[in-house]
Amino acid sequence: MIPSSVYLDAATAAPLHPVARQALLAALDDGWADPDRLYTSARRARQLLDAAREAAAQTLGVRPDELSFTSSGTTAAHSAVLGGLRGRRRAGAVLVHSAIEHSAVLHAAQQHTAGGGTAVEVPVDRLGRLDLDAWSTAVTGSGVALAALIAASHEVGTVQPVEAAAAVCADAGVPLYVDAAQMVGRMPVPPGWSVLTASARKWGGPPGVGLLVVRKGTRWESPWPADERESGRTPGTVNLPAVVAAAASLRAAAADAAAEAARLTPLVDRIRSRVAAEVPDVEVVGDPERRLPHLVTFSCLYVDGEALLHALDRRGFAVSSGSSCTSSTLRPSHVLEAMGVLSHGNVRVSLHAGSTEADVERFLAELPGIVADLRAEAGVVGL
Amino acid sequence: MTAEPDEVLDCLGQRCPLPVIALARRLPALPVGAVLRVLADDPAAAVDIPAWCRMRDQEFLGTSGTAHHVRRRQ
Ligand SMILES: Cc1ncc(COP(=O)(O)O)c(C=O)c1O
């Protein structure tokens, strides 16, 4: 019998929210024209784009002219980092960032250093929490143009001390960029940032839509060739139907966020405690308290991460992993490395609106046997 | 940086978790206080060998290049 499938990788992409599907279908019919043209169908597209921007801005509590749509969370992060550095190049060429940023931020940082700039990485502790003293030292150093902090870890779920980090930045006169991809649509983002990015597919919007918010008064300059669309912040035609769906589903997800968090937090607690109790030699990682409501990560000693992913997939479970054997670069996750926790046999489970208690129970019932079988095959039982 | 090891375990070319498994097999066979050098070039070994020492209450002495040093504590 083929097991029914249980999707547990919402942190990569949540299944499309019903509101997103509805809005997408309607906008495919109604929003295909170019919003910048001057005929009737174009004006209709312009109205849809303006309404989407207003809805998204309202949900985030920002002004519509501060918000631009991008072609992904990755592009938004690139713009945030490179544009933030460019806008402040007279202040210096130092980028401060945590050691657990998303690869999109790290890749932008690499481009910055390849061009002669400097990047200062701030460590985290074993639970994946930013070292605030080290952050303070780094941000108050000379020549700092921008500081970047992920709002909550996409790999281990630990929520970062954004407000405290922002206070340090404000005192030093350094703008703070917050990558809130895992937080937007799930919990309120703390205040104090100057630039923020998010990704629609994380809250049930379609893939290929990102948000870039640049607060008024922030020195930010587009790193791209000139283009007047999206207030000059993101070049290229926006995918309007997808943008409309993203904004509609963001509003729906944010309206349900508190109830969803109250439903998912105890399910994640259950996974944390049952995995620790019922799978021998497992390390459940990340902050057990200050964490995202929907995400949990653990590592199984002596187990090959890729083999574990495939074994889970054969039983119908879709999860992701930070183990080196599952990455194209064959390097372990830099997040697990920065935390100093076991990187092999790693599994990240992330829940969404369609995840049920029965799904979680089935996962918890099957996981110990799957891990035990893999250990038996590898001959590592009793080590 | 580290004293001469009592034994060397060559895990070069092996992918994680194999070097950690080799370490877990070998270390308990050495006397308490003995130092094992694990040669492993998989980047994950630099993360996972110290993590294993923490989980198993063994002493991680440090890494230089692809050489990871562990002392049997118990
Ligand atoms: C924290 C974080 N930032 C950025 C991104 C990139 O977003 P996207 O997948 O839309 O490019 C992701 C998702 O992969 C993420 O989790």
Q: So what's the ipTM on this one?
A: 0.95
DSSP calls for A352-379:
-TT--HHHHHHHHHHHHHHHHHHHHHHT
User: Of all atoms in ligand 1, which is nearest to the CA of residue A151?
Assistant: 1
Residue of A302, A336, A345 lying closest to B47 (CB–CB) = A336
Nearest to A76 by CA among A254, A202, A170: A202
- Confidence bin at A331 (pLDDT 50/70/90): confident
Q: How much is the pLDDT for A326?
A: 73
A214-226 average pLDDT score: 97
Q: How much is the pLDDT for B3?
A: 66
A113-133 average pLDDT score: 98
Q: How much is the pLDDT for A340?
A: 96
Q: How much is the pLDDT for A1?
A: 57
pLDDT in tens, A299-310: 999 999 999 999
Structure tokens given for A11: 């942190």
CA A314, A318, A321 angle in degrees (round to 5)? 105
The answer on pLDDT for A277 being more than 60 is yes
Q: Does B50 touch chain A (CB under 8 A)?
A: yes
Q: How far is B5 from chain A (nearest CA, A)?
A: 22
Q: Kindly state if the Cβ of A274 falls inside 6 Å of ligand 1.
A: no
Specify the residue for token string 């922030």: A218
Chain B CB contacts of A345 under 8 Å are 17
Q: How far apart are CA A124 and CA A227, in angstroms?
A: 38
Q: How much is the pLDDT for A2?
A: 62
**Residue whose CA is closest, atom 7 of ligand 1?**
A73
Give me the CATH topology for the region A18-252: Aspartate Aminotransferase; domain 2 (3.40.640)
Q: How much is the pLDDT for B2?
A: 57
Structure tokens given for B54: 């923490």
CB contact under 8 A, B24 and A380: yes
Q: How far is A171 from chain B (nearest CA, A)?
A: 36
Domains and CATH numbers, chain B: 7-71 (3.30.110.40)
pLDDT in tens, A180-199: 999 999 999 999 999 999 99
Task: Find out whether A176 and A213 touch, Cβ atoms under 8 Å.
Answer: no
A225-244 average pLDDT score: 95
Q: Kindly state if the Cβ of A199 falls inside 6 Å of ligand 1.
A: yes
Task: Find out whether B22 and A312 touch, Cβ atoms under 8 Å.
Answer: no
Task: Find out whether A198 and A181 touch, Cβ atoms under 8 Å.
Answer: yes
Task: Find out whether A343 and A332 touch, Cβ atoms under 8 Å.
Answer: yes
pLDDT in tens, A68-107: 999 999 999 999 999 999 999 999 999 999 999 999 999 9
Q: How far apart are CA A171 and CA A75, in angstroms?
A: 29
Long-range contact set of residues B12-16: C-beta below 8 Å, sequence gap at least 24: B12/B39, B12/B40, B12/B41, B12/B66, B13/B41, B14/B40, B14/B42, B15/A324, B15/A325, B15/A330, B15/B42, B15/B44, B16/A304, B16/A323, B16/A324, B16/A325, B16/A332, B16/A343, B16/A344, B16/B42, B16/B44, B16/B45, B16/B48
The residue extents of the domains of chain A are: 6-14+257-378, 18-252
CA of residue A199 to ligand 1 center, whole Å: 6
For chain A, the average pLDDT equals 97
Burial class (CB within 10 angstroms; exposed 0-12, middle 13-18, buried 19+) of B4: exposed
Task: Report CA dihedral (B9, B12, B18, B21) to the nearest 10 degrees.
Answer: 10
Q: How far is B20 from chain A (nearest CA, A)?
A: 7
Task: Report CA dihedral (B19, B22, B23, B29) to the nearest 10 degrees.
Answer: -170
Q: How much is the pLDDT for A139?
A: 98
8-state DSSP, A220: -
Could you list the mean pLDDT of each consecutive 10-residue stretch along chain B, which spans 74 residues? 84 96 97 97 96 97 97 93
Q: Kindly state if the Cβ of A268 falls inside 6 Å of ligand 1.
A: no
Q: Which CATH superfamily is domain A6-14+257-378 in?
A: Aspartate Aminotransferase, domain 1 (3.90.1150.10)
